[in-house]
A and B are shown apart, each in its own frame.
Chain A
């Protein structure tokens, strides 16, 4: 039987894809002399996709290969947000550094976003894999976009090799899973696994291998410890807005893949009762390692992009606390966390981008005395840092609270206590940035006046953090709605 094809719900993705092609042509048509217009066009395209998403969602297409459910919509908003904010902060880069390939730069960002959107809708392993590839392949190119910069090339190459490697591992895991269950559809897989388990009382070691490989494959994309080695180098070398996408958009894509496979497909195996077939404890240990290694290593970083790289490794550790809870509250907490992480992390990277445009430096110590010369940018950065550290009433606190509540509810008290202890450590390096900006007696010579588009990004980030920090209910309810997609 031919599965039903529902073109209607594909409209946002198709629109964004065509818009990316249009950007290529526009760049050529204006003889590549349009630093501003093309950037605004890219932002408009992303915003328009969000509007289209509001009107065209709900339902399936191609069987379960494309499911436009609440979960997918929730994460698509995050992807679009990350693309929007990355583009908004990259105007100066487009003007100064990438003179001849602006169309490609913005177009590839949009391509990658389309890939993420497909990924978040995939309820089936093949389309999930394709979505993941669509996401990462444009990012390989983007990471190496400063063609004359060795560090950027290194970043691109490293990311490509690691990306290809991890995709192969993931694919191998998927094929093993297919061998055990005879299907790539996650819901059927869920049923078949229980049937196999009920009829034989056990599932072979191949299952463990498959689970480990899938965790590793997605773990590479998420930069989950111990698959995180590539992240700091790539984050440092890639153009800063691309680093921001890597740390927010592409991570959110990995998170949604993880949610679909583990918290939905393999939900029966989340608990310790199923040992040794369970995945909960494995992920909990990885989360613990991510929080410890990420936070402790971030303490020693002198480059803000590397510091944010390690901090985002640690942040994924916190998200995983909600993941191992594998409850409705856990999934909602993960969603809320990613949503607020979007504002804080994209904002922090936007400041780093603007600062680098002005000074050419990424050193944390060069932020010294910035509060006197550029008070508003410093105040924004302070809000981002404090939100990442989880200080109330900012959004990062509510996010951590929900995740940890879910963790304690699911009985992971040790993990939550560990997470909180590492959160105290994290305050040190986040506060270090604030210290540099505010506590110095000298006034910095750098005076930053962000462009209009960058101001939009910064204000969006700060407003999101403060409003949804004090009043988290709308986002939390949205996330709970998304969590309802899984049958808990």
Chain B
């Protein structure tokens, strides 16, 4: 393997960032197409990576496409070390696809176009970097690099309360990250010889770190990742950030950034501190349950369509946390990854759809609509499709993932899982109610008579998501084959 595909994935958007910075600021079309180009290539690479991984590497749990470790900062043993396995490949696929679609969805941005696309490309570098990094220093750098463009994207192009939402997001996530930093430093100094290599620490940490320090580190990592997921009670930044952010940024937030929390748990906390996972698995599952029920109930109360989708994320990510608590079951952990993937597709799509409607109607208030079904049938069809996927209709990816989570978790916690199933009912409740109130009922021709159907660009940007949702819902085997070896190995580590 001589072609350093992961480095290309990380640095092509960065090259795009620099390139866009040097374009003249008036040439909007040029900036758009250059950015499209620089996100198209990583997308193709991520597809190829998924394809190649599936056929050549998915049989073993070992890291594939590793690069390095190359010495970076020798005095503190920081290395440039990349690699992917069955956990990161689907995430890279998701990142590549959704960043590209978000760029397409951002073509209607007219204010400060150059800065917008530049920040978007920088954001992609950070996201891909997090999913590839195998060295803690590198991981942390990418983890933080994302925050800055995100801060600007929310703060400049956001809604009415953008300043508040932007700084809240920034402070909240930084607050989480510092705990991670302390935990990283503790692990570094307890390992002998000192190392920041995540793979080595997974091998050594369970035996070298004392029980109490393991607990401290586990909690610190958990806080950092839980804020990102977000797990109740760390979720309060999410509704603000999602609602205020421009459409494409909400998509990235929901589809990729939230996954970093659960990804971090699967990559770092779980394999590194199996003893702590065993110790804490009931509280973790309970947090998952609370998120599922709480998120669903709050969604139910929302009047704003975007807020509804935002809180539904809290609920859906709760399934991941519940599954992570059931550490003994490969099915549950696979369900977690399926849910991450499926939530990325569905919620990404829902945010895109909300954006489409908002662009036309300039309001997101559910009560303001009614009977749109006859006026804009294509939009209605797609929206209903995604809503059904989200509530877990069989034949769509949401059903597969939730089913796996329930089947896998039931053996570990039957009561909690039984209660969590209620979440599905509640989801159906708010999703169907939303569909009913917006698309059915009486049509206000005076107000919405001028509403136009989705254009080709808009259909094209959600079509891949719709197709993938159905494909995974009908035939989930390819995805589960990618995951299997890695997750079996993880469960073995956890059960050890």
Give A contacts to B, CB under 8 Å. Answer: 329, 332, 372, 386, 391-393, 397-398, 401-402, 404-405, 408-409, 413, 416-417, 420-421, 423-424, 427-428, 431, 434-435, 438-439, 471-473, 476-477, 480
The answer to whether A424 and B188 have CB atoms under 8 Å apart is no
Residues from chain A with a CB closer than 8 A to the CB of B151 are: 431, 434
B470 within 8 A of A: no
The answer to whether B167 and A431 have CB atoms under 8 Å apart is yes
The B interface, classified by DSSP as helix, strand, loop or mixed, is: helix
Residues from chain B with a CB closer than 8 A to the CB of A392 are: 140-141, 144-145
The answer to whether A435 and B182 have CB atoms under 8 Å apart is no
The answer to whether A408 and B186 have CB atoms under 8 Å apart is yes
Residues from chain B with a CB closer than 8 A to the CB of A329 are: 75
Within 8 A of A (CB), among B141-192: 141, 144-145, 147-148, 151-152, 155-156, 162-163, 166-167, 170-171, 174-175, 178-179, 181-182, 185-186, 188-189
The answer to whether A428 and B155 have CB atoms under 8 Å apart is no
B74 within 8 A of A: yes
| Given A391-B144, A405-B188, A435-B155; A427-B170 close (CB under 8 Å) | yes
Residues from chain A with a CB closer than 8 A to the CB of B167 are: 428, 431, 435
A420 nearest CB across to chain B (Å): 4
How many A-B contacts are there with CB distance less than 8 Å?
A: 81
Size of the chain B interface, CB-CB below 8 angstroms: 33
> Roughly how many angstroms separate A417 CA and B183 CA in the complex, as a whole number?
10
Q: In the complex, which of the residues A397, A409, A434, A476 contacts B75, with contact meaning CB atoms closer than 8 Å? A: A476
Residues from chain A with a CB closer than 8 A to the CB of B163 are: 435, 439
Residues from chain A with a CB closer than 8 A to the CB of B152 are: 438
The answer to whether B166 and A473 have CB atoms under 8 Å apart is no
Interface-centre pick from A423, A424, A471, A480 (highest chain B CB count, 10 A):
A424
Residue of A nearest to B114 (CB): A375
Closest 10 CB pairs of A and B: A420-B178, A392-B141, A408-B185, A439-B155, A392-B144, A424-B175, A424-B174, A393-B141, A476-B75, A473-B73
B76 within 8 A of A: yes
The answer to whether B148 and A438 have CB atoms under 8 Å apart is no
> Roughly how many angstroms separate A413 CA and B185 CA in the complex, as a whole number?
10
The answer to whether B182 and A417 have CB atoms under 8 Å apart is yes
B198 nearest CB across to chain A (Å): 17
Beyond A404-B185, A431-B170, 13 additional pairs, beta carbon < 8 A: A372-B112, A391-B148, A401-B137, A420-B181, A424-B178, A428-B171, A431-B151, A434-B151, A435-B155, A438-B152, A439-B162, A471-B72, A476-B75
Q: In the complex, which of the residues B141, B171, B189 contacts A408, with contact meaning CB atoms closer than 8 Å? A: B189
B205 nearest CB across to chain A (Å): 16
A15 nearest CB across to chain B (Å): 33
Residue of B nearest to A407 (CB): B185
The answer to whether A438 and B156 have CB atoms under 8 Å apart is yes
The answer to whether A409 and B189 have CB atoms under 8 Å apart is yes
Q: In the complex, which of the residues A417, A438, A471 contacts B155, with contact meaning CB atoms closer than 8 Å? A: A438
The answer to whether B185 and A416 have CB atoms under 8 Å apart is yes
> Roughly how many angstroms separate A421 CA and B171 CA in the complex, as a whole number?
11
> Roughly how many angstroms separate A477 CA and B163 CA in the complex, as a whole number?
41
A392 nearest CB across to chain B (Å): 4
Residues from chain A with a CB closer than 8 A to the CB of B75 are: 329, 332, 473, 476-477, 480
> Roughly how many angstroms separate A386 CA and B148 CA in the complex, as a whole number?
9
> Roughly how many angstroms separate A423 CA and B163 CA in the complex, as a whole number?
20
B115 nearest CB across to chain A (Å): 8
B72 nearest CB across to chain A (Å): 8
> Roughly how many angstroms separate A122 CA and B148 CA in the complex, as a whole number?
43
Residues from chain A with a CB closer than 8 A to the CB of B148 are: 386, 391
Residues from chain A with a CB closer than 8 A to the CB of B73 are: 398, 472-473, 476
> Roughly how many angstroms separate A386 CA and B147 CA in the complex, as a whole number?
11
Residue of B nearest to A438 (CB): B156
Q: In the complex, which of the residues B137, B171, B182 contacts A427, with contact meaning CB atoms closer than 8 Å? A: B171
Q: In the complex, which of the residues B156, B166, B171, B182 contacts A424, with contact meaning CB atoms closer than 8 Å? A: B171
> Roughly how many angstroms separate A195 CA and B489 CA in the complex, as a whole number?
60
The answer to whether B185 and A405 have CB atoms under 8 Å apart is yes
